[in-house]
A and B are shown apart, each in its own frame.
Chain A
Amino acid sequence: KNEVEQSPQNLTAQEGEFITINCSYSVGISALHWLQQHPGGGIVSLFMLSSGKKKHGRLIATINIQEKHSSLHITASHPRDSAVYICAVRSIQGAQKLVFGQGTRLTINP
């Protein structure tokens, strides 16, 4: 079993829909990262959080440390949100190592 599991692996939705991507992990962590990989391959860091909730524009990330679970929400989704969203965790023992999920491929249709 992977230390970081994302669901769903693929998600297709219509423009305007509320999107939720889930990330579950099995190790104790000091931080969790959400990243976005564009269709062209470039990767952008969206959030880093260790507790609670963060918001940036239409993106909201939450984390529940006790349940070892994080969610990334996108409100009023738009075709430009189409990308692969990646969850990564830094384990307590992990020095500078991030453990990455396989990613969730999101497609927003107009």
Chain B
Amino acid sequence: GENVEQHPSTLSVQEGDSAVIKCTYSDSASNYFPWYKQELGKRPQLIIDIRSNVGEKKDQRIAVTLNKTAKHFSLHITETQPEDSAVYFCAASTPSGGTSYGKLTFGQGTILTVHP
């Protein structure tokens, strides 16, 4: 089955700096890669995603890049703010049951701390 590795496990930055979180996946059939932000005691919230036919996607201060050949994808947050502090999870979706989408396999998470 799919295996997703996420690094680093913790990341500490100063406000205004950039933060980069990297993930690798194992199953070349995976075709959808979302990123979730989870604040303490809250549900995961989708912040950005990318499909396998796209190499890069940007939404304001957040961007995601995908390298299908190397099977890795990254989250980039620019001009970080204290409210960006949370746990970030990457995931990969593998088609199943004859559909083009399916369950998510998650990375272990990155605890991001943005210091004012």
A and B from one complex? no
